[in-house]
Structure 1
Amino acid sequence: MSLVNIRNLGVTLSAPLFSKLNLAVNAGDRIGLVAANGRGKSTLLRCIAGGMEANTGDIIRSRGLTIGYVEQDVPSDLGDTPFYAAVLEALPPEERPSESWRVDVTLDSLQVSEAMRERPLKHLSGGWQRLAMLARVWVREPDVLLLDEPTNHLDLAKIGQLEEWLNALPRDVPVIISSHDRAFLDATTNRTLFLRPEQSQIFALPYTRARMALDEVDAADARRYERDIKVAQQLRKQAAKLNNIGINSGSDLLVVKTKQLKERADKLEETAKPAHLERSAGAIKLANQGTHAKVLVTLDDAAVETPDGTLLFRTGKRFIRQGDRIVLLGRNGAGKTRLMMMLRKAIENPETTQGGIKATPALVLGYGDQALADLVDEETPMHAIVHRFDVGDQRARSLLAGAGITIEKQSRPIGRLSSGQKARLGLLLLRLAEPNFYLLDEPTNHLDIEGQEALEGELLDPRASCLLVSHDRSFVRAVANRFWLIERKKLVELDGPEDFFASIGAARD
C-alpha cells in the first residue's frame, strides 16, 4: 500500500513547473528528485509536506502519516539557539522533559560532539547547520523524510557521513531527496524522478543509470516525432498530387481521397509530440584563451603556513603546465585554501616569487571562490558587468540574459538573485576577464546538473588549464587529469582520486 499517492498533480507559477504528475511513494523507497534550478523540486516537496497547495490534482496520504521536511535554510530566529536546544525545541513542549533522550540518540547518530552541541547555530559552519536542521526533523521520528539539497555546504567527510546515516535508516521509511549531487544520489537512492513541465519520468534506478534510461526514452521520442512529421509531410504531398489530378479529371472519388489524406496528416501532426527539450537555466562558457607558455607555475618546495606561521605542508618541487586540470585533495584544515591564496598572489604579481611560487608573466587569472566574494549584494548585475568590462548596455543585457538572468532581474540587487543565478553570474564575470588559467574553489556549488555538465565541458577544452578544489566527486572524476593530495605535511601526486575518496569513509569507521 502506498504511503503517499500523487495523482495528476500540477503547479503553475509564472510558467508550468510540472503537470499531470503521478507518483506512488511506498515503504522502502529512496527517491531522487532531479530538475534544473527553479523548476519545481522545492515546490513539489512543499506540496507533499502539506505546506503548499497544487493548482491541480491530489495528494493522498495514509491516515495518521507524519512527514518530516528538511528545508534548505535555517530559520533566522534560531541563530542564537545552541545546537542541542534547537533540536530539543522541535519536540512538543509536553514531551521535552521525558523524551529528551531522543535528542541524544539523534545527535549521536549524526556524530555531533558534546562541544558542538553547546554552540549557537549562527556560529556553526553551513554544513553543521544543515545537520542541525536534519536533526530537528528526525528527532520527531517522521514516517516519511523529505530532504531539500541536503549536501549543500557539506564537505566530503560529512557527505559520506550523511550517506551512511541515510542508508542505515529503517528500510520502511521512504526518503525523497532533491539534489544536484550525482554521486550522492547514486549512493542513496533506488528510484529517480525527473521533474518536467510535461511528462515527468520516473525510473526504478539510481541517478546515473536512470539518466541513461531517460536519454534513451528522449531519443526514441525524438525519432518517433521525426517519423510522424515525415509521414504527415508525405501524406500532404500525396494529397496535393491527387488534388491536381482530381481537378483535371473531375473525379469526385479523388477529391474524397484527397480530403481523407489531409485529415490523416492533420491528425498525425496534432498527436505527434516533440521530444522533451530542457529549458536552459543559462549558458555557461569560459574564455579558454590558452597561452604559449608550457610551464605556467613553478612551486619550489613552497611552505604553506597558517597566519600565525604554523607549517601545514610543503609542496616539494612541482610544476603546473599548459592543459593541466589539477584537483587539490585534502581534509578540512589541511591547507587547500591557503595554497590557493598563495597561487593567486603569485599569478597576480608575477614579477615576484611568493614564498617559493613563481608564475609566468603570460598568465591571466580567472579566480572563483565558493562564497562568490567578488559579487556585491547591493550591486546590480548590469552594474557588475558594465563597470568592470568594456561592454555597452545592450551587449551587457544580452550576456546576462544568456547566463540565465532575465531582463527584470538585471537591474535588481545581486543579493536578491537565487544561489544558482549568482553562480552563473560569477562564471560570466570570469569569462569576461578572458583568463588563460583558472583557480576554482568549489565551482559547482549552487549549480544544477545541467550547469555542472556545461562547466565540465568548458574545462575539458584542450586549451583550458586550472587548479580546483571540489567536494563534488562526479565533477572531479569528469574533469581532472592530475590529482594532488595534502597528506602528512606534504603535497603528493596520486594516479586518481578513488583511494582518497575511500579513505574519507574508512576514517569514519
Structure 2
Amino acid sequence: MSLLNIRSLGVTLSSRLFSDLNLTVNAGDRIGLVAANGRGKSTLLRCIASQLEPTDGVITKSRGLTIGYVEQNVPQALLDHTFYDAVLAALPAEQQSSESWRVDVALESLDVPEAMRQRTLSQLSGGWQRLAMLARIWVTEPDMLLLDEPTNHLDLARIGQLEQWLNALPRDLPVIISSHDRAFLDATTNRTLFLRPERSQMFPLPYSRARVALDEGDASDGRRYQRDMKAAQQLRQQAAKLNNIGVNSGSDLLVVKTKQLKQRADRLEGATRPAHLERSAGAIRLANRGTHAKVLVTLEDAAVTTPDGTLLFRTGRQFICQGDRIVLLGANGAGKTRLVAMLRRAIGKADVSQDGIKATPSLVLGYGDQALADLSEGETPMHSIVHRFDVGDLRARSLLAGAGLSVEMQARPIGQLSGGQKARLGMLFLRLAEPNFYLLDEPTNHLDIDGQEALESELLDHKASCLLVSHDRSFVRAVGNRFWLIDRKTLVELDGPEAFFAAMGGAGAP
C-alpha cells in the first residue's frame, strides 16, 4: 500500500543537492538513506516532514498520514525540561493530563531508567538526548518515522537496543533512516536509497548488498564514460583535420562536416558524468613515518583508574608491536578512554616509564579524539594549518581544498564548520604530523560512509600501527587485527569482536 509518493523532486540551495528524485514509500518499507555529508539527506527528510519546500517536484501523502521526524539536534527551548517533561510536552495540551500514561509506555519501550527521567536534558549525554527526541516523536503515535542519524552519540549497547526496538515495531510502519552506520543500516533496513545530485538510485536491499549492486553499476557507467570521452576526442581530431582541408580547399561541404563532428563531440562530452565521479566531500589521507622498533609500547600490569583513584582494570603484561591495529573493546565506563589518555602521556614522555607504560623513543604520535578537541574552535583552518605545520599559504590552501574545504570555508572559524568538515580537517592534521603510531578515539563519529571507507583504506594501505576505540562495527571489522577486551577489571585478548558485539546486543550483519 502506497503511503507517500515523491515525483521529480529537487532541491537547490547554494548548490544542487538532488534532482529528479522519484520514490514511493509503502507500508512496511524500512529505507536506508545514504549520501555524503552535506549532500541532502536531512534536507530530503525535512521536505518529507513538510518543514521545507523543495525547489522542484511534488510530494503526495495518503489522507491523514502523520509523520514523526526525529531531528539530530535538541531544540534549545527543551534543554531545561526534564526527560519526562520533554516527552510529555510533545502531546497536545488537552491530552497531557489525561493521557500522560503514553509517556510511561514510550519510556518503558526504550528502557529509560526512572532516575534518568527526572534529569534535565542539558544534564544528559548526547546519546540520552537522542533517545529523548525519539521518545517525543514515538509518544505521538506517528504513521511513519523519519530518523536523522539516530545512532549519533550512542554507545554499542544503546545502538543494539535501538536496533531491537526498531525491529520490534509494527511491521507495516514505514521508517526512513538517514545514517552513516553501515552495520546499523544492515540490521534495520530492507531498501536503500543512494541520494545523489543526479540519478539517485534505489535498491530493494539492505545497505551492504545494495552497495555491491551500486558499485557494479558505477563501474559500468565509468567504462561507458571513458569510452564516450575517447570517442569525443577522436571526433575533435577528425574535425580539426577536415577543417584544415576545408579551409585550404574552400570546400563548403567539409566545413559543414567539421561542424557536425564538433556537435557530436559536444553531445558526448555534455552527457552527465557518472554519479560516482561527482565531487566528494573531501579526501582523507594518512601518513606512516615508519620505525625500526618492533615493540612500540610495553604495558607492565598498568593500573587504569578513575580521577579519584578507583581501579577500573589492570592491563597485565601486554605489548603493542609494529603493524598491530588493536581495537579496545569494553562497556561504557570500563576505562577505554582512560587507557588511551595514559598511552598518550607515555608516548609524549617516552624517555621514562609512565604509570606502568613504556613507549619506544622513536614513536611519533598521531592522536584523534571523538570531541575533535585538538581543533581550536576560534581559529580558521587556514590559520591553524599555517601556524601548526611548516607549509606556506599556497600549499595550505591546496591541502585544505583537498580535504573538502572551499576557500570560503578556509576563512571561517573552525567552530562554524560541520562535524564532517571538522573530522576531515582533523584527519589532515594527523597526516601532516607524519606519525608512526595512531591513537584514535571514535575516529568515525563525524565521518560519512565514504570517509569511513577512506580511513579504513589508509590505515590498511600504509600498514599503520594503531590502537583505536570505536562503536562502529563495520570499521572495527575492517581495520582490527587484534582485539583487547576490558572484562571484570582485567584486559584480555580475543580472537575477534563478534562475541563482544553479540553480548552488547548489537551484532548487526557479519
Question: Shared fold by TM > 0.5?
Answer: yes
1:113 deviation in Å?
0.7
Q: Distance in 2 between matches of 1:295 and 1:496?
A: 22
Is 1:369 matched with 2:376?
no
What residue in structure 2 maps to residue 279 of structure 1? 279
CA distance in 2, matches of 1:295, 1:257: 73
- C-alpha distance in 1, partners of 2:478/2:129? 29
Amino acid at match of 1:28: G
Task: Tell me, yes or no, if structure 1 residue 145 matches structure 2 residue 133.
Answer: no
Given the superposition, is the C-alpha separation of residues 307 and 203 from structure 1 closer, same or farther in structure 2, using an over 3 Å criterion?
Answer: same
Do structure 1's residue 390 and structure 2's residue 404 form an aligned pair?
no
Q: Which TM-score applies when normalising by structure 1? A: 0.94
Note the C-alpha offset of 1:162.
Answer: 0.5
Change (3 A) 1:244 1:130: closer
Shift of the 506–44 alpha-carbon distance from structure 1 to 2, 3 Å rule, reads closer
Summarize deviations over 1:4-50 as a string: whole Å, max 9, x none. Answer: 10000011111110000000011100011110000000000000000
Sort the Cα spacing of 1:462 and 1:37 in 2 relative to 1 into closer, same or farther, 3 A. closer
Which amino acid is the alignment partner of residue 275 of structure 1? P
> What are the equivalent positions in structure 2 for 1:27-426 lying under 5 Å apart?
27-230=27-230, 262=261, 265=264, 269=268, 272-276=271-275, 277-426=277-426
Q: Deviations over 1:336-387 (max 9, x none)?
A: 1111111111110112211211001111111111011112222221222222
**How many residues of Structure 1 are paired with residues of Structure 2 in the alignment?**
506
Kept in 2: contact 1:157–1:504 (CA 8 A): yes
Alpha-carbon contact 1:238-1:261 (below 8 Å) kept = no
Distance of aligned partners of 1:490 and 1:15 in 2 relative to their CA distance in 1, 3 Å threshold: same
Q: Does 1:12 align with 2:12?
A: yes
Q: Distance in 1 between matches of 2:417 and 2:259?
A: 54
Distance in structure 1 (CA, Å) of the matches to 2:367 and 2:439:
5
- Superposed displacement of residue 238, structure 1: 7.8
CA distance in 2 between partners of 1:275 and 1:407 (Å):
26
Q: Residue 496 of structure 2 corresponds to which residue in structure 1?
A: 496
Question: Are the structure 2 counterparts of residues 140 and 427 from structure 1 closer, same or farther at C-alpha, using a change threshold of 3 Å?
Answer: same
The answer to whether the aligner puts 1:480 opposite 2:480 as a matched pair is yes
Instruction: Answer whether contact 2:191 2:205 (CA < 8 A) is retained.
Output: yes
Instruction: Give per-residue Cα distances to partners, 1:193-244, cap 9 Å, x unaligned.
Output: 1111100011000111111101111112222333445556667788899999
Q: Distance in 1 between matches of 2:266 and 2:291?
A: 57
Cα distance between partner residues in 2 of 1:140 and 1:86: 13
SS in 2 for 1:283: coil
Tell me, yes or no, if the aligned pair for 1:236 and 1:261 is still in contact at 8 Å.
Answer: no
* 1:164 partner amino acid: Q
Asked if 2 retains the 8 angstrom alpha-carbon contact of 1:240 and 1:258, the reply is no
1:269 is displaced (CA, Å) by 2.1
1:500, 1:472 → 2: CA distance? 13
Q: Following TM superposition, by how much is the alpha carbon of 1:432 offset from its aligned partner in structure 2, in angstroms?
A: 1.8
**In structure 1, what is the Cα distance between the partners aligned to 2:332 and 2:488?**
13
Counterpart code for 2:431? R
Residue identity in the other structure for 2:146: L
Structure 1, 222-231 or 310-319: larger mean CA deviation: 222-231
Secondary structure of 2:20's aligned partner: strand
- The CA deviation string for residues 435-458 of structure 1, in whole angstroms up to 9 with x for no partner, is 111111000011011111111111
Q: Tell whether the 8 Å contact from 1:235 to 1:264 is kept in structure 2 after alignment.
A: no
Post-superposition Cα deviations, 1:280-322, rounded to whole Å, max 9, x if no partner, equal: 1112111211111110000011111122222211111110011
Matches of 1:140 and 1:191, distance apart in 2: 25
Give the match's secondary structure for 1:23: strand
How much has 1:54 moved relative to structure 2? 0.6
* Structure 2: segments with no counterpart, 5+ residues: none
Deviates further, 314-323 or 393-402? 393-402
How big is the shift at 1:395?
2.1
Alignment CA distance shift 1:260-1:446 (3 Å): closer
Decide whether aligned partners of structure 1 residues 205 and 241 sit closer, same or farther in structure 2, where only a CA change above 3 A counts. same
Residue by residue over 1:409-468, the C-alpha shift from the partner in whole angstroms, topping out at 9 and shown as x without a partner, is 222211111011111111122222221111110000110111111111111134411000
Alpha-carbon shift at residue 53 of structure 1 (Å) = 0.3
Query: For 1:281, what is the secondary structure of its paired residue?
Result: coil
| Overall identity of the aligned pairs, in % | 77
SS of structure 2 residue aligned to 1:486: strand
Q: Name the structure 2 match of 1:443.
A: 443
Write out per-residue CA displacement over residues 48-75 of structure 1, whole angstroms, 9 at most, x where no aligned residue: 0000001110011111111111000001
The structure-2 alpha-carbon separation of the partners of 1:98 and 1:390, relative to structure 1 and needing over 3 Å to count, comes to same
CA gap of 1:242–1:462, structure 2 versus 1, over 3 A, is: closer
Q: Secondary structure at the match of 2:165?
A: helix
